[in-house]
Amino acid sequence: MPVQLLLGLIVVLVVFAVVRAYAPERTLLAGVVLGLGALALLAVDSRALLSLEFWVGLIGFAAILSALLVVIHPNPMVSILFLIVNLFCIALFYLILQAQFLAALQIIIYAGAIMVLFLFVVMLLNLKTEVGLHVAGGPQRWGALLLGAAFTALLFHAIRGRLDQAYVESGMFDSSFGAARGVGGLLFSKYLFAFEAASLLLIAAMIGAVVMAKRKVR
C-alpha cells in the first residue's frame, strides 16, 4: 500500500528532524537506526516504489516541509535554499500534470534567475542570522496564525466539495499537451496583447529596479 509506506517514511523523517533539533549528539545513531527502518519499510513493500501515488505524495510532503522551513528558519540564506527545493518540487508536479514547458520555465526562471537575485541581495547586504526568530509581536502573530488556519480550513472545505463528484478520467494521453508548441501558439495568437504588455511590464520593472538601487539619484 503506497499510502502506508508514505506515512511510514514521513514519520521516519519527522522523528529524525526532532532528534536532530533537540538531541544533536544522537543524530548519527538516530540516522543509522531510522535509515535501516526506512530500508526495511521499502523492502517489505518495494512494489509501491513503482506507483505514482507514492512519489507524488513524497514530493508533496517535501514541498510542504520546505515551505514551512522557508517561513520558520531564522537565517534568510537557508530560507532561500529551501525555497529553491520547494520550486523544484512544484516543477516535478508540473511534469506530472503534463506541463513540460512550464516545468522547464519554472527551473530556468524561478530557480535559475529569481532565486539567484535573492541570493545575490542577501549576500550583498551580508544579513546575519536573526537573534531568535524576529516575528511580529503579540496580536499580529496570533491573528496571522488564526487567519492562516481559518483560510486553510475554508479552502479545504471548498476543495472537499469537489471530491463528491465522480472522477472522470481525462480522455486519452496527448503527448503534445503542454509542450512549447501549444503554449507558444496560444501566447502568440490569442494572448498576443497580454504578451506585449508583459514585455512592457518587464522593461518598466528593470528601469525601476536600476533607478531604485542606484547609489545616488539626481
CA 83/CA 67 separation, integer angstroms? 7
Count of residues interacting with another protein (CB under 8 A): 84
Q: Which of 170, 175, 193, 218 binds another protein (CB under 8 A)?
A: 170
Measure CA of the first residue to CA of the last residue in the chain; give whole Å: 67
Residue 201 found at the interface with another protein (CB under 8 A): yes
CB-CB contact of 45 with 1 (8 Å): yes
Residue 136 lies near another protein (rule: CB under 8 A): yes
* C-alpha to C-alpha distance for 188 and 196, rounded to whole angstroms: 9
Identified binder of another protein from the candidate list 21, 28, 50, 159, rule CB under 8 A: 159
* CB closer to another protein, 39 vs 64: 64
Closer residue to another protein (CB): 23 or 133: 133
What is the grid cell recorded at 42?
Answer: 521499502
Three-state DSSP class for 193? helix
In whole angstroms, the minimum distance from the beta carbon of 43 to another protein comes to: 25
Q: Which stretch binds another protein (CB under 8 A): 19-27, 28-36, 40-48, 179-187?
A: 179-187
**x-marked contacts with another protein along 62-81 as a string, rule CB under 8 A:** -xx--xx-xx----x--xx-
Residue whose C-alpha is closest to residue 103's, from 90, 121, 119: 90
Which position among 24, 193, 213, 218 is part of the footprint of another protein (CB under 8 A)?
213
196 forms part of the interface with another protein (CB under 8 A)? no
Residue 4 touches another protein, criterion: CB under 8 A: no
- CB of residue 21 vs another protein: minimum separation in angstroms? 19
Q: How many Å apart are CA 31 and CA 20, to the nearest integer?
A: 9
**Cα distance between residue 70 and residue 73, in whole Å:** 6
Region of 4-12, 26-34, 42-50, 191-199 interacting with another protein (CB under 8 A): 191-199
Q: How far apart are CA 176 and CA 99, in angstroms?
A: 10
Question: Given the C-alpha cell 516575528, which residue does it identify?
Answer: 135
**Interaction between residue 209 and another protein (CB under 8 A):** yes
CA gap 94, 97 in Å, rounded: 5
**Contacts to another protein from residues 6-45, by CB under 8 A:** none
